[in-house]
Amino acid sequence: MGKPFAQNDSIKRFVADSLEPVIVEAFSNQVKWKEAAASIAQIDQKQFLSFAPLSLVPSFNTISGLRMEERSPGSYRLSIRGSLLRSPFGVRNVKIYWNGLPISDATGNAYLNLVDLQQISSAEVIKGPAASVYGAGTGGVVLLKSNLPFAEKKQQEFSAAIQSGSHGLLEQDIAWKYQNKNFSSALRETYLKSDGYREQSALHKTNLQYEAALLAKQHQLQLLSWYTDIAYQTPGGITLAQMQLNPRLARQPSSSLPGAVQQQTAIYNKTFFVGIEDKWTLGKGSMLRSFVSLNNTRFENPFITNYEFRNETNTGIGVQWIYQPNQNSIQWISGLEWLYNHSVITDFGNRKGVRDTLQFSDNIFTNQWTGYTQLQKIFAHRWQLNAGISFNQQLLSYQRTSDPLANRQLKSTAIVPAPRFSVLFNLNKNIAAYSIIAFGFSPPSLAEVRPSDGNYYGNLAPEKGWNFEMGLKGFLLQNKLQLDIAYYHFKLNDAIVKRTNSGGAEYFINAGTALQQGFELSGKLQAIRNSQHIVSSLFVWTSFSYQPYHFINYQQGNSSFAGNALTGVPKKILALGIDLGIFKKFILHSNLNAVSTIPLTDANDAYADPYQLVQLKLDYLYRDTRHHILFFAGIDNLLNQQYSLGNDINAAGKRFYNPASERNFFAGLRFKLIK
């Protein structure tokens, strides 16, 4: 604790491929990836920079079991080993932290599109329920990190980047860092603009971030603050016939409703976030970690049938005690996390992009608390046992303030215990086997209890279920090959499913039981490194997901969907990449993402076609002791496939499709000065 870190030269690491042991921090441990008794994937700066440096989507989709979608520029959806049944937009049922501070709010929602790729140095993804430390959720956890190291000598760094591309793409990034042995800070500004591929799909995003870290005797303090102003148009879904005729179309008018262009559908989000974390070394193997965070979101959404305003205030407070004596054979963690959300939601009519008469106004308070404890013990340097449990509860208060006769309605979940047990056995110094039993619990989010149809669904029950998993991971071929294999069996009860009314507004129901059982394989091979020949490095990676999910029992009216494939989930996903270094100056990244057919309705009477997305990126690096200059250019959707990167499942009028861009191009420059 308190030891200065070496300067992280991300561009150098990006060129020099390596399978050196990676330290992961999931479940408040700092252990080698192989020694973590969980299915954990890490994305580092090198992987982020293998794609166009403007979106999290392609790098996240290299991870087996994870699917990230972008229905239009800026409109993210994310699922881990699950489905998008309950996510018409946004990120739900996945807990997200940034430098240990919760980005997910008390209602279970996270605005991941507020985070800029340039701000993130790495990300860890924990697959499956992780309630023993991270509280409610059945999907998993994403731990975002922005690297802010200390340095033995005072150092300053200035960096700038610019890139441009098809469909009016323009991104600019400027950053300044200062470091010494006790203090470091960083200031960054980014701007992103795109005209979009489709009608009504333009994006403008401005982000300003300041973070700092301070060493003060037994304390290490870290500040994270940022402001994001994002505005992106929402073109809406179209039918298969419309996509085949003209994939650039936005949602078209019908006999009863106007289209997206006429209603100027869009989302405007202005969010300010500030959080402080303190790590206090108490001595004798004890540390006390605490944090407090506060953020405010002003959200505006002109939609087809209404014009919604939201004012959301969020607070997070957490404390965690970690006991780990010097021999490191035992670790005990206990903690408490409390999240609070206050949302004022007002809906008006939408008259061609201008708010009309008041429809209704709501005032909602949500509290979510989690208390947890976890014990880890290592035996004979080969066995690792981990047992943890958390207790979780969500309390919600709802009142329709536009109706003077409406009473306040209170909704609370029972205090739910969520245990997690894992065991890891080191077969040898390179390979480990593990197994997990974990319970997941996920209360409905605010956007599900009070969805876009404007009604209140207080009877919506939480999702819950047990996950059973076993895996094998480690290194072969003298640590040149990294493998990760996992099988899991997750039975989800009271699955929350999205439905759509005739006007296109969403609402949600509990849909019985679903079985999410699958197989995952990931591999990375360092075939050539630091060769003096023309080919100076060759790095190959792949991931495969097999997800034959289905409903066990699900009755909708007179129709039974038992046995049907789970809506929105492709059965097979293959990702493959090759990074080829030439003369130690050039590196060519080639990536394939192949997705099988996707059921679009609970009845399985409509499927999205499979697609194969190929991306290429070429980099050239110039570097001396003070200057780093990186030139890059690339092609997205090389095969010019017609596909929808984010489908509107169970959509009214069969408007399922949000077509992604045809073949498109980008190029840019990154510059760094160190002094």
Q: Are 369 and 415 in contact (CB under 8 A)?
A: no
The closest of 93, 97, 84, 119 to 28, measured between CA atoms, is: 97
Q: pTM for the whole thing?
A: 0.93
pLDDT reported for residue 87: 63
The residues near 222 (Cβ < 8 Å, ≥ 6 apart) are 99, 100, 148, 211, 212, 213, 214, 276, 277
pLDDT reported for residue 77: 87
pLDDT reported for residue 502: 67
Q: Are 347 and 359 in contact (CB under 8 A)?
A: yes
**What's the rounded mean pLDDT across residues 324-331?**
78
- In this predicted structure, the answer to whether residue 533 has a pLDDT above a threshold of 90 is no
- In this predicted structure, the answer to whether residue 625 has a pLDDT above a threshold of 90 is no
For the chain, the straight-line distance linking the first and the last C-alpha, in angstroms and rounded, comes to 27
- In this predicted structure, the answer to whether residue 21 has a pLDDT above a threshold of 80 is no
Other CB atoms within a 10 A radius of the CB of residue 273 amount to 22
Going through 38-154 in order, the beta strands assigned E by DSSP cover 40-43, 66-70, 76-80, 91-92, 94-98, 101-102, 109-110, 122-127, 140-145
**What's the rounded mean pLDDT across residues 232-258?**
95
Q: Name the residue type at position 235.
A: P
Lowest mean pLDDT segment, chosen from 44-48, 256-260, 266-270 = 44-48
DSSP β-bridge partners for residue 341: 314, 366
* Alpha carbons 21 and 4: distance in angstroms, whole number: 20
Q: Are 134 and 141 in contact (CB under 8 A)?
A: yes
pLDDT reported for residue 279: 94
CA distances to 238, 279, 336, 368, 562 from 30, in Å: 47, 14, 20, 27, 43
Digit-coded pLDDT (tens) for 169-228: 999 999 999 999 999 999 999 999 999 999 999 999 999 999 999 999 899 999 999 999
Domain 10-481 classification at class level = mainly beta
pLDDT reported for residue 92: 76
Residue with tokens 């608390």: 369
Q: Are 487 and 471 in contact (CB under 8 A)?
A: yes
- In this predicted structure, the answer to whether residue 565 has a pLDDT above a threshold of 60 is yes
* C-alpha 176 chain-centroid distance: 26
The residues near 565 (Cβ < 8 Å, ≥ 6 apart) are 548, 549, 550, 571, 599, 604
Q: Are 125 and 139 in contact (CB under 8 A)?
A: no
The percent of residues in the chain predicted with pLDDT above 90, rounded, is 63
Q: Are 452 and 412 in contact (CB under 8 A)?
A: no
Q: What is the mean pLDDT of the chain?
A: 89
pLDDT reported for residue 11: 35
Q: Which two tokens stand for residue 282?
A: 């108490």
Digit-coded pLDDT (tens) for 54-97: 888 999 999 999 999 998 888 888 888 876 666 656 677 888 99
Other CB atoms within a 10 A radius of the CB of residue 431 amount to 15
**What's the rounded mean pLDDT across residues 383-403?**
92
Q: Are 227 and 177 in contact (CB under 8 A)?
A: no
- In this predicted structure, the answer to whether residue 12 has a pLDDT above a threshold of 50 is no
Digit-coded pLDDT (tens) for 286-327: 999 999 999 999 999 999 999 999 999 999 999 999 998 876
The closest of 97, 95, 92 to 123, measured between CA atoms, is: 97
**What's the rounded mean pLDDT across residues 322-336?**
85
Binning pLDDT at 50, 70 and 90, where does residue 600 land? very high
- In this predicted structure, the answer to whether residue 328 has a pLDDT above a threshold of 90 is no
Binning pLDDT at 50, 70 and 90, where does residue 529 land? confident
90 in the Ramachandran plot: left (φ > 0), alpha (ψ -120 to 50) or beta? left
Domain boundaries, the chain: 10-481
Q: 103 by DSSP, 3-state: which?
A: coil
